[in-house]
Amino acid sequence: MEFIIENGKRLAIASKGILLIKEFQDALDLMGDLYYQGVTGLVLFESNLTPDFFDLKTRLAGDILQKFSTYRFKLAIVGDFLPYTSKSLQDFIRESNKQKHINFVSTREEAIQILSA
């Protein structure tokens, strides 16, 4: 995990390629640990999440993102989401991005910009 300060906000950036979240409790533990370290936003990469996250039938994405929203902990997920052909998932991504609290973006730089705004 890398920590940076951008515009006065402490952000955590996960290491690309390391699976951090396999299940709901992993996300809660990660968010709790970061919160107590004064982190206000987290950058995750698509590779940090189990593939089940992107299958909305598992409800994993909805449950995890609801907790991040409830606790007002900003999250940006970096990846290429175009290959996911599920209309439901594409709608989910679009709606999440409208709220500006949970963001699906294509670059690390875009994630940092959004989380530090």
pLDDT tens track for 104-116: 999 999 999 999 9
Q: What b/e readout covers 34-64, taking b as 16+ CB neighbours within 10 angstroms?
A: beeeebbbbbbbbebbeeebbebeeebbeeb
- Which distant-in-sequence residues (6+ apart) come within 8 Å of 115 by Cβ? 6, 9, 11, 40, 41, 42, 43, 74, 76, 103
pLDDT of residue 54: 93
Looking at CATH, the fold of the domain delimited by 2-116 is given as Transcription Regulator spoIIAA (3.30.750)
User: What's the average model confidence in pLDDT over 27-46?
Assistant: 96
Q: How far apart are CA 61 and CA 63, in angstroms?
A: 6
pLDDT of residue 91: 93
Total residue length of the chain = 117
Q: How far apart are CA 27 and CA 62, in angstroms?
A: 12
Domains of the chain, residue spans: 2-116
Over 90: is that where the pLDDT of 99 sits? Answer: no
User: What's the average model confidence in pLDDT over 19-30?
Assistant: 95
Q: How far apart are CA 47 and CA 17, in angstroms?
A: 5
pLDDT tens track for 54-87: 999 999 999 999 999 999 999 999 999 988 888 9
